[in-house]
Amino acid sequence: MSDHQDNLPATGHTDGAHPGGHAPARVEEPIANPGMERHLPRPTDVDEAAAKRAERQVATFFVISMISAVLFCVAYFSFEVGESPDTFGRIGASNLTLGLSLGLALLCIGIGVIQWARKLMADVELSEPRHPVASSPEDRSETLAALSQGLEESGLARRPLIRNTLLGSLAMLGLPAIVALRDLGPLPDIKNTLEKTFWTPGARIVNDVTGRPLRPSDLEIGGLVNAEPEGLVEPYDGEREGIEYLEGVELLAEKGKAAVIVVRMEPEDVTEETSNWGVEGIVCYSKICTHVGCPISLWEQQTHHLLCPCHQSTFDLADKGRVVFGPAARALPQLPIEVGPDGYLVAVSDFREPVGPSYWERG
Amino acid sequence: MSESVAKTNGPNAAVTKKPTRGASAVTWADDRLGLATAAKKNLRKIFPDHWSFMLGEIALWSFVILLITGVFLTFWFKPSMGEVEYMGSYAQLRGLHMSEAYASTLDISFDVRGGLLMRQMHHWSAMLFIAAMLVHMMRVFLTGAFRKPRELNWIIGGLLILLGIIEGFAGYSLPDDLLSGTGLRIADGLVKATPVLGTYMSFFMFGGEFPGDDIIPRLYMAHILLIPGLILALIAAHMLLLVYHKHTQWPGPGRTEENVVGFPMLPVYAAKAGGFFFITFGVTALMGGLMSINPVWKYGPYNPSQVTAGSQPDWYMGIAEGLLRIMPGWETSIFGVTLSWNVFIPGQLMPIILLAMVLAWPFLEAWVTGDKREHHLLQRPRNAPTRTAFLAAMITLYGLLWAAGGNDILAVIFHLNLNHITYFMRGAVFVVPILVFMLTRRWCISLQRQDNETLLHGYETGIIMRSAEGGYTERHLPISPEAAYTLTARDRDTVHEVEAGVDENGVPASGGRIAAVRARLSQAMYGHNVQKPTAQELDEGHHHAEDEHAHEIEAGLDHSADGHQFDGRHPVEGEELRSH
């Protein structure tokens, strides 16, 4: 043991011996490598009966797999998915049987093959030498020579004009590549998109499910209604003249910005600044979180706090939508409202600041 | 050279036979392709065996399953945001207006037989793909398998994880249900927080103002062509490098830096890896059949004015979610522009910084040690205490951010105050990883000491010997030579000394400050490690054991010392403990 170890440097470093820097590390001290362990035969190597048994096991797995594949086809034609999506523990008969049969068909092939490898294939460990990853010094210098000869013959070094103009032309190709993407979208017309919503002076506030316009009496103290401007919800008793009803993409874009929540609090609980933009303790705020734009929905009656379910920014609706907790930086924009001539709640104007998440140009 | 290629690993020697039909097929193919030269070495290429080498295989096979199930889904999925009225089998949503993407996802789930199974298998294997990549990455990190010559493969692996996560998010967004739409809306908020370009990026991504009608077709292209193409190319490079470098192996008897010991590709590895593909596939099929995942029909179509409470992204987005949730609401408005630190830092900077820190570690380590040698033998995590502690700290940070990403759910389950959880997490992400780092490092060093104890004094047999004087000792027995060799088969760490600022000519050494930083790091990273005993120490240890304990060991041999005399059935003289 000690003989071997004497031949090795104490630190295990052999950098000096292999200037190429790709010498493998050596770790053979202080105990010499005893060499590979002796191979012990498995029962299947020495006992023909055991080997036969293993062979039958493997074949059995393959047969189960075949049967499962047939069962898959039977299940496919036996069950309609749509008829019973919730049977068998809410999984659905079709999904359950297809999954089980396919799973078994695949699993049994895998188990069979691995059993075959473990029990019957030769299991003697073999050793193979490693070679340095780097090429031999001869190959390396030949490559370098070929490279420099090629470059020399191209005249790239002697004719810098060609080299520089080539590099310039390749670099300029970046321009078409970038410019060609220009039509991915319109330039942001911030004034007419991010800073404008569907709210107009006199727009009715309607319930966002029923489409019914809200009156002050529809709201109890502590109550909250999710609302939209008229025109973004299917009207509850036919379209009104003079109102633009949006559809499709525009509808989604406007709904995403104009969504509001209307709450009613005890008028004395609400700060003066806040109540100036409301009616009898009824106030209206943007529903879109100023953090990253989730619709806010969790209302705590007692504290007048509104919580965003995505990242838990919390806003005080009794005090101008001030941020009381969470990652949002800005107050929830308040929509000034009043009671219209026909007794419905209407907007005084659009929001006085952009709704939703911040952006660079927001100022 | 001829010995270098294994010819047989069976008990019987090969016997020459007449050319078979298989041989003539090989001849036919080789006449046209000339592959025999390359194949002769690789068909019997040796792969070492260890359970932890299977983790990357799970990731590979999951990706294959993703390709297979994904192709099935493309036959029916319609990547369009055009509005349609749903008329399919699912009664609760019939008559509702929704995007074609959502309607076709419902069709795949309820009107295409096997469609729901494939959707669920696709989603489960995506979870498995990313999880397996992360665990595989931990394995590579903890065992030092990233060391030279494998640094490039380490970086490729890091890119694969990043691409896998982006690919997962793109796929999650495609069904255009309420949850995925909310995810896209958050993504829009993150993009808008980019300094200078944010608004432009958002408008170009969505083809106008959010949500527009371009994002689903665009994500579809990215999800089924662009990103999988990149992943496939990187996997190919990853595997080619693996084959070229030859797999790392654990040190042990007969295993050195200059060889690779294991089983040949054909037949053992081909069978094991091929069989394992079917096992992964089968388990995924069982999961798809038995475990519901992403039941989009329960969420309803996307509506930008709605959201469900307790909404959670897929688990791998959990740390970004946690970062967003615990970040304080900092924002700067200056010179007429807005900088949303509260979104930009946690949503864009931090995830990349965290990944970059882990990916950069091998290069830091190589620089500090100055080690230029190739390493093919793996290290036990305990033998690289600083590295192991660093990863433990990163895993802790990951776990904390993950928990922070579910702070609302934690609050409900444990009846805690949501705000308190968030305040706690804001501090914990800085403090706890540091504590875990220190604890893990000490733990590793203790384990190193224990290894040395075992080498010098043998293992604890659990047999307590009572000497004639009444003292008690535990009998230690030496470990087998193979086990002893395996324990010592590791490098000694070298610690760089801080050199004087001037060289022998009195000229300030170039890069003196950098060298000093390196020396200090070297001391901090390796100075506390326990080195394996030298041959002399081992010798002394054995003599010591022989001298000190010879009489005890021999004394023990003349009567049973298996502990049965203390089992309560035999009276033991002078044994007082049981008498009360």
Residue A72: pLDDT above 90? yes
Do B452 and B530 touch, CB atoms closer than 8 A?
yes
pLDDT surpasses 70 at B552 = no
CATH tag, A205-362: 2.102.10.10
* Residue B87's CATH number: 1.20.810.10
| 8 A C-beta contact, residue A17 and residue B550 | no
- Nearest neighbour of A295 by CB, restricted to B213, B263, B307: B307
What are the residue boundaries of the structural domains of chain A, listed by start?
A: 1-35, 43-119, 205-362
Sign of CA dihedral A345, A351, A352, A357: positive
**Inter-chain contact B209–A5, Cβ cutoff 8 Å?**
no
CA A275 to chain centre: 41
Of B247-251, B398-402, B572-576, which gets the smallest average pLDDT?
Answer: B572-576
Cα separation of B388 and B396, whole Å? Answer: 12
Which region holds residue A102: left if phi is over 0, alpha if psi is between -120 and 50, else beta?
A: alpha
Q: Are the Cβ atoms of B274 and A113 closer than 8 angstroms?
A: yes
Residues of B in contact with A25 (CB under 8 A): 257, 371, 373-375, 377, 491
pLDDT at A314: 94
Measured between beta carbons, the chain B residues lying within 8 angstroms of A30 are: 488, 532-538
The whole-chain average pLDDT of chain A stands at 88
pLDDT surpasses 90 at B507: no
Whether residue B525 has pLDDT greater than 60? yes
3-class DSSP state for residue A264? strand
pLDDT at B538 (0 to 100): 87
What is the structure's pLDDT at B513? 84
Statement: residue A4 has pLDDT above 50: no
**Cβ–Cβ of A128/B45 closer than 8 Å?**
yes
Residue B288 has pLDDT above 80, yes or no: yes
In a domain, B343, yes or no: no
ipTM of the complex: 0.89
Higher-pLDDT residue of B235, A133 = B235
Answer whether residue B348 is part of any domain. Answer: no
Asked if the model's pLDDT at residue B14 lies above 90, the reply is no
B177, β-bridge pairs:
B301
Q: By the CB < 8 Å criterion, does B466 face chain A? A: no
Of all residues in chain A, the percent with pLDDT exceeding 90 is: 65
Closest chain B residue to the Cα of A84, Cα to Cα: B110
| Partners of residue B249 on adjacent β-strands | B377
Closest to A191 (Cα-Cα) out of B267, B402, B209, B464: B209
Residues of B in contact with A327 (CB under 8 A): 324-329, 342-343, 346
Q: Is the pLDDT of residue A264 over 60?
A: yes
Chain A interface mutation, best of B4, B8, B117, highest count of A Cβ atoms under 10 Å: B117
Same domain, B58 and B207: yes
**More confidently predicted of B512 and B523:** B523
Q: Compute the count of residue pairs across chains A and B with CB atoms less than 8 Å apart.
A: 427
B423 to chain A: nearest residue by CA?
A326
Are B338 and A81 within 8 A, CB to CB? no
Say whether residue B109 is in contact with chain A using an 8 A CB cutoff. yes
pLDDT digits (tens, 9 = 90+) for B169-193: 999 999 999 999 999 999 999 999 9
Contacts of B401 in chain A (CB under 8 A): none
More confident residue, B470 or B122: B122
Query: Contact B337/A24, CB-based, under 8 Å?
Result: no
**In the prediction, which pLDDT does B10 show?**
64
Q: How many CB atoms lie within 10 A of CB B543?
A: 10
Q: Decide if A216 contacts A280 (C-beta within 8 A).
A: yes
| Domain assignment of residue B40, yes or no | no
Contacts of A164 (CB under 8 A, 6+ apart): none
Rounded mean pLDDT of B213-239? Answer: 97
B503 pLDDT above the threshold of 70 = no
Residue A214 token pair: 């809200």
- Residue after which a domain boundary falls, among B290, B307, B324: B307
Tell me how close the Cα of B194 comes to any Cα of chain A, in angstroms.
7
Show the CA angle centred on residue B149, arms to residues B145 and B155, nearest 5°.
70
In Å, what is the CA distance from B184 to each residue of A330, B217, B314? Answer: 21, 13, 13
Which tens digit of pLDDT belongs to each residue from A162-218? 999 999 999 999 999 999 999 999 999 998 889 999 999 999 999 998 999 999 999
Total domains in chain B come to: 2
Among A41, A81, A293, beta carbon nearest to B188? A293
pLDDT tens-digit series, residues A222-243: 889 999 999 999 888 888 888 8
> What's the gap in Å between the CA of A53 and the closest CA on chain B?
19
- Least-confidence region, from B38-52, B284-298, B307-321: B307-321
Residue B440 is predicted with a pLDDT of 97
Helix (H) or strand (E) holding A339: strand A337-339
Please give the pLDDT value at position B3.
45
Closest-CA residue in chain A for B5?
A: A128
Q: What is the pLDDT of residue A79?
A: 84
Question: Which residue carries 């249900």 as its tokens?
Answer: B177
User: What is the share, in percent, of chain B residues with pLDDT greater than 90?
Assistant: 69
Q: Please give the pLDDT value at position B500.
A: 56
Q: Is the pLDDT of residue B202 over 90?
A: yes
Q: Does B332 touch chain A (CB under 8 A)?
A: no
What integer is the mean pLDDT of B198-207?
94
Q: By C-alpha distance, which of A228, A242, A236 is closest to A197?
A: A228
**pLDDT score for B159:** 97
Interfacial B residues in 255-314 facing A (CB < 8 Å): 255-264, 267-268, 271-272, 274-290, 292, 297, 302-311
- Are B200 and A83 within 8 A, CB to CB? no
Per CB-CB distance under 8 Å, the chain A contacts of B274 are 113
CB contacts of B69 in chain A (<8 Å) are none
> Do the bridges between strand A282-286 and strand A298-300 make them parallel or antiparallel, or are there none, so unpaired?
unpaired
Does the structure show a pLDDT above 60 at A20?
Answer: no
Query: Is the pLDDT assigned to residue B474 strictly greater than 90?
Result: no
Q: How is residue B262 written in tokens? A: 């294991």
- Measured between beta carbons, the chain B residues lying within 8 angstroms of A41 are 11
Distance from CA of B231 to the nearest CA of A (A): 23
pLDDT for position A110: 97
Domain that holds residue B523: 441-572
B325-373 confidence digits (pLDDT tens): 999 999 998 888 999 999 999 999 999 999 999 999 999 999 999 999 9
Cross-chain residue pair A107–B422, CB shorter than 8 Å? no
Interface membership of B86 toward A (CB under 8 Å): no
Higher pLDDT, residue B104 or A249: B104
At A11 the pLDDT is 38
Q: B1 falls in which pLDDT band (50, 70, 90)? A: very low
Shortest alpha-carbon distance between residue A161 and chain B (Å): 35
- Write the DSSP assignment of A194-233 as a string of letters: TT--S--TTPBEEETTT-PBP-GGG--TT-EEEEEETTSS
- Domain final position from B307, B327, B362: B307
B148 has a pLDDT exceeding 50: yes
Q: For residue B534, give the chain A residue with the closest CA.
A: A30
Would you state the pLDDT for residue A291? 94
Final residue of a structural domain among B307, B325, B341: B307
Residue B271, C-beta contacts closer than 8 angstroms, at least 6 positions apart: A113, A114, A116, A117, A121
> Lowest-confidence range among A15-19, A26-30, A108-112, B534-538?
A15-19
Distances B355 to B134, B397, B426 between C-alpha atoms, Å: 11, 12, 20
Q: Are strands B259-264 and A126-129 parallel, antiparallel or unpaired?
A: antiparallel
pLDDT score recorded for residue B91: 87
Q: Do B329 and A326 touch (CB under 8 A)?
A: yes
Contacts of A363 in chain B (CB under 8 A): 333, 336-338
Greatest mean pLDDT range, A48-52, B7-11, B510-514: A48-52
Tokens of A95: 């999904």
Closest-approach residue (CA) in chain B for A250: B212
Q: Is B256 inside any structural domain?
A: yes
What is the model's pLDDT at position B9? 64
Q: Taking residues B543-547, report their average pLDDT.
A: 67
Contact A81 B116 (CB under 8 A): yes
